[in-house]
Structure 1
Amino acid sequence: MTMRVEHHPVLGSLKDKQPITFYFNGVAYEGYEGDSIASALLASGVRTLRHHEMSGTGRGIYCNIGHCFECRVQLENSKVVRSCLTPVKEGMVIQSIPGYKEGDE
């Protein structure tokens, strides 16, 4: 089952977009040109993008417009970005940000 919108009156048709492969936490996923990291992962069924720094609870897409910082992920170059604002690219390697672990105080 796909979570994708196949045709949108403003964004166009999915069949006109190029598929790309990217990696999240070591797993290969397919996205499309123009996807944000968040939208590509959401369409692939991924809901948890990171874990809260203190409680360790899962965090995912919340506002999807770059205000809340809940969808932060780490790129291969160690840069932390908001996944809802960052375009996914061919071969991109993305990691969850580690959450709090007992003994980190």
Structure 2
Amino acid sequence: MKSKFVRLSETARTPVRFCIDGETVAGFEGDTLLVAMLCNTDHVRHSEFGPETRAGFCLMGACQDCWVWTTDGERMRACTTMVSADLNMVTRQPEVQWPNLA
């Protein structure tokens, strides 16, 4: 994967392994999910309105551009979520599941 961010310092922190779209990657303890994702990929999510990819915008929780999903369908902001080893993220919005009304 091509990365959008290049880490220049703070490389001595404890590595944290997690998954993005089925691929195991590494961030560092204390990283936000946004930083860890952009150090490993060139995007944070795919736009739900077209073919474009998104990489976050404000980096501080104001713009709503960094929503990502767990494989279980939980939605979270990458810029305000700390990276942890239990994260299994997807960059495409899961299909909306409508309740079975039959």
Relative to the length of structure 2, the TM-score reads 0.77
8 Å Cα contact 1:20/1:91 also seen in 2: no
Structure 1 gaps, min length 5:
7-12, 100-105
Which secondary structure state, in structure 2, belongs to the residue aligned with residue 28 of structure 1?
A: strand
Give the Cα–Cα distance (whole angstroms) in 1 for the partners of residues 71 and 52 of structure 2.
Answer: 23
Letter in 2 for 1:66: G
8 Å Cα contact 2:68/2:93 also seen in 1: no
Relative to the length of structure 1, the TM-score reads 0.75
Match of 2:11 among 8, 14, 22: 14
8 Å Cα contact 1:65/1:85 also seen in 2: yes
Work out the percentage of aligned pairs sharing the same amino acid.
25
Tell me the number of residue pairs that the alignment of Structure 1 and Structure 2 aligns: 91
Q: CA deviation at 1:14?
A: 3.0
Matched, 1:68 2:71: no
8 Å Cα contact 1:66/1:85 also seen in 2: yes
Structure 2 gaps, min length 5:
95-102
